Amino acid sequence: MTRFQTSTGIALAATLLASSASAQQAAPESILPQPKGEAAPTAQTAQPNPARTVDEAFGDIQMASGEVVQEIPSLEGVWTLAQAQQLLDFIPGVAAEGLNPSDYQSEALTAAIAAGEGEELNVLASKVFVWLVEDLRDGRTPMESRRQWFVVDPDADRLPTWKLLEDALASGEIAATLTSLNPVHPDYAALKAELATASDPARIKLIRANMDRWRWLPQDLGRQYLVTNVPEYMLRLTVNNKIIDKYRVVVGKPGRTATPQLAEMVEAVIYNPTWTVPQSIVVGEGLGNKVLNNPTWARNAGYKATKGANGWITVVQQPGPQNSLGLMKLDMPNEHAIFLHDTPSRHLFNQDNRALSHGCIRVQGARELAMTMSMLGNAKSKEDIPAIREEVSEITQSGEYTRYAMERQWPVYITYFTMATDVDGKLRKFNDIYERDAPVLAALDAPRVSDRARETSEEAVEIVDDMQT
């Protein structure tokens, strides 16, 4: 096999690692460079927070009649007229965030303010505040309209509604508290700027839908991550909101093999992967018997088959250039069996329409990405790079299946934006290849839904294979 040579990925890792003189002792994220003149931002987790204790989630535990009673946090506060007026004044401005001001009962709130302080004002103002928190922090689109959306947004755990209400009333910073919930990614700001100048109704709706999609994700994606925008057919390696490298990708075909939307962690790089062929192909397409009955053909194609006493045939494609996963894959365990991988069918990256796989994401330049991830996931300084490069080169030459664990795991986001900033920095509209826009647009036009689920009820789509097209 080809030995890894000095590449863009190696230079990238060296540049990132060299930025910290104290990288050997630094926290994992601190080895990455910061924009000049800016302090290092606090990294946010890409996954939901660990389970919180009862104390943390619900307040003090009290003993009553020998039973443990948990004090449920209140979603109703005591409002002054000035605070309620600040809330009322905030409502029209949500139009700039792609939300509908008519959702938030301005007329009723005006009347409650006119009636003076008291229970009626407390109940209504608290309800409006909670609705705004939910929509700004979590997105207005209910789960049933988010097709194949399997990301659990951690923001509701990180910024619980009751705590936001409590703090806003204590500080009097009603508007500032709500404004702080907006997504911080530059792409959201670009959509917001476009919304301010858009006049075509259809374009306005599309912008609003894609602004809401940003709210479905963690408010802060972190300092470094991989992100794929499926309709764009592109993968980005991003550090401090800057695209460090970009790769063309092939994604799932429309239908049952459409690529779902996920937020996972890359735990390792698999070099020289094997591919266990699904039974839908082994039995359904007769591959098992073909491998057993044609040993020369099977050997040339890299297949090995075993037949159990019960007649069950297992077929595994061995590592090698013909392997359907190519020479690497990024190990990101998830119930959908979706991952990023190499491919021997590299000619497909030249096509404009690259929705061709059975769900997994094939990456152009995957071997360079693998080297980059191996270094960024394990090197503590630039001095570590040559040893990692040599080790990975030996692994690839060996042709043997090897799981190369990453000490520092990287978030990877698989997203679906039909209007977004492309890899060249231009705001563009992308084809809605999976027809996921319609339910979002309909939901934004429909009355607001309260008490929305945080997790989808959709079942994981079984990816039956990733045979090369």
pLDDT of 47-81, one tens digit each?
Answer: 433 333 333 333 333 334 445 455 668 899 999 99
Are 255 and 402 contained in the same domain?
Answer: yes
pLDDT, position 28? 37
pTM, full prediction:
0.83
Question: Considering the chain, what is the average pLDDT of its residues?
Answer: 85
Do residue 268 and residue 339 come from a single domain? Answer: yes
105 within domain boundaries: yes
Q: With respect to residue 54, please indicate whether it lies within any of the assigned structural domains.
A: no
Question: What residues pair up with 112 in beta bridges, in sequence order?
Answer: none
Kindly calculate the radius of gyration of the chain based on its CA atoms and give it in whole angstroms: 26
| Distance, CA of 338 to CA of 214 (rounded, Å) | 22
**Final residue of a domain: which of 389, 415, 441?**
415
Residues 370 and 243 in one domain: yes
- When divided into structural domains, the chain yields a total of 3
Confidence band, pLDDT 50/70/90 cuts, at residue 12: low
- How far is residue 130's CA from residue 165's CA, in Å, rounded to a whole number? 8
**CA–CA separation, 217 vs 208, rounded Å?**
15
Q: Among this protein's residues, is 347 annotated catalytic? A: no
**H-helix or E-strand containing 355?**
strand 355-357
- pLDDT tens track for 319-338: 988 888 889 999 999 988 89
Measure the CA dihedral 68/74/80/81, to 10°: -160
pLDDT value at 231 more than 80: yes
Q: Give the mean pLDDT of 260-267.
A: 96
Q: Which of 396, 415, 434 is the last residue of a domain?
A: 415
- Residue 233 is encoded by which pair of tokens? 């057919």
Q: Which two tokens stand for residue 409?
A: 């795991």
Contact present, 419 and 210 (Cβ < 8 Å): yes
Structure tokens at 53: 């204790």
| CATH code for position 329 | 2.40.440.10
Of 377, 393, 415, the last residue of a domain is 415
Give the whole-angstrom CA distance, residue 111 versus residue 96: 25
- For residue 182, the SS3 value is coil
- Shared domain for 169 and 119, answered yes or no, is yes
Looking at residue 280, what is its pLDDT? 73
- Judged against a pLDDT cut of 50, whether residue 27 lies above it is answered with no
Q: What was the pLDDT predicted at 38?
A: 40
- 237 and 284 in one domain? no
Say which residue, 150 or 301, is predicted with more confidence: 150
HSE-CB at 354 with a 13 A cutoff on CA atoms is 26
The mean pLDDT value for 306-315 works out to 89
Same domain as 188, residue 284: no
Dump pLDDT digits (tens) for 332-356. Answer: 999 888 999 998 888 889 999 999 9
Distance (Å, rounded) from C-alpha 352 to C-alpha 371?
27
Residue 177: predicted pLDDT: 98
Tracing tokens 């365990």 back to the chain, one arrives at 333
Shared domain check, 257 and 118? no
Q: pLDDT exceeding 70 applies to what percent of the chain?
A: 83
360 tagged catalytic:
yes
Alpha helices by DSSP H, listed for 67-171, are 81-90, 106-115, 119-138, 155-158, 161-171
Query: How far, in Å, CA of 398 to CA of 378, rounded?
Result: 21
Domain assignment present for 257: yes
Whether 295 and 328 share a structural domain: no
Confidence of residue 234 (pLDDT cuts 50, 70, 90): very high
Question: Is 243 a member of any domain?
Answer: yes
Which tens digits make up the pLDDT trace of 83-130? 999 999 999 999 999 999 999 999 999 999 999 999 999 999 999 999
Gap between the Cα atoms of 176 and 125, Å rounded: 16
Mean pLDDT of the region 265-288: 88
Q: Judge whether 326 lies within some domain.
A: yes
| Poorest-pLDDT segment among 30-44, 117-131, 271-285 | 30-44
The reported pLDDT for the residue numbered 84 is 98
185 and 307 within one domain: no
**Rounded CA separation 313/304 (Å):** 10
Measured between its terminal Cα atoms, the distance across the chain in Å is 23
Structure tokens at 253: 């075909």
Confidence of residue 453 (pLDDT cuts 50, 70, 90): confident
pLDDT band for position 455 (50/70/90)? confident
Residues 301 and 284 in one domain: yes
Which one of 185, 336, 358, 360 is the catalytic residue?
360
Q: pLDDT at position 33, please?
A: 35
Structural domain span for residue 236: 221-274+319-415
Reduce the DSSP state of residue 383 to 3 states and report it.
Answer: helix
331, part of any domain: yes
Residue 208 domain-assigned? Answer: yes
Highest-scoring range by mean pLDDT, 36-40, 188-192, 219-223? 188-192
The catalytic position among 336, 341, 347, 358 is: 341
Question: Per-residue pLDDT for 35 more than 60?
Answer: no
- Same-domain pairing of 236 and 212: no
Query: Looking at the domain assignment, is residue 434 inside a domain?
Result: no
397 and 329 fall within a common domain: yes
Interval 379-405: pLDDT, tens: 999 999 999 999 999 999 999 999 999
